[in-house]
């Protein structure tokens, strides 16, 4: 078996290091009910937007899709 030698073999990348250090739970996102509400409303907007788009709506459907994808879902993830 080969030993991992970082300095002698530059072609082989170094093994990945956990950016959280020794605490793997440091980057977990805890979502509260308010977050799930925004995500749920965003999913409803997206579904209704795609349904309207399939029926031929060229005004309301894109507005709902943009609101769902670009506003509500990110708000649900970002807000504390």
If one counts the domains in the chain, the total is 1
With respect to residue 40, please indicate whether it lies within any of the assigned structural domains: yes
Domain membership flag for residue 43 = yes
Q: Output the pLDDT for position 33.
A: 96
- 55: domain range? 30-78
Residue 47 lies in a domain: yes
Q: Decide if 10 is inside a domain.
A: no
The candidate with the shortest Cα–Cα distance to 77, out of 26, 42, 44, is 42
Q: How far apart are CA 2 and CA 7, in angstroms?
A: 14
- Confidence at residue 29, expressed as pLDDT on a 0 to 100 scale: 77
Distance of alpha carbon 65 from alpha carbon 11, whole angstroms: 45
Residue 35 lies in a domain: yes
> Does 34 reside within a domain?
yes
Identify whether 19 is part of a domain: no
Per-residue pLDDT in tens (0 to 9) along the chain, 80 residues: 555 555 556 677 666 666 666 666 667 778 999 999 999 999 999 999 999 999 999 999 999 999 999 999 999 999 98
User: What's the whole-model pTM score?
Assistant: 0.67
Domain membership of residue 41 (yes or no) is yes
């Amino acid at each position: 078996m080969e030993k991992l030698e970082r300095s002698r073999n530059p072609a082989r990348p170094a093994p990945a290091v956990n950016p959280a250090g020794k605490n793997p739970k440091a980057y977990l996102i805890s979502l509260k009910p308010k977050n799930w509400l925004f995500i749920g409303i965003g999913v409803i907007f997206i579904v209704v937007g795609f349904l309207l788009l399939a029926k031929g709506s060229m005004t309301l459907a894109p507005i709902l899709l943009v609101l769902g994808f670009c506003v509500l879902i990110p708000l649900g993830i970002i807000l504390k």
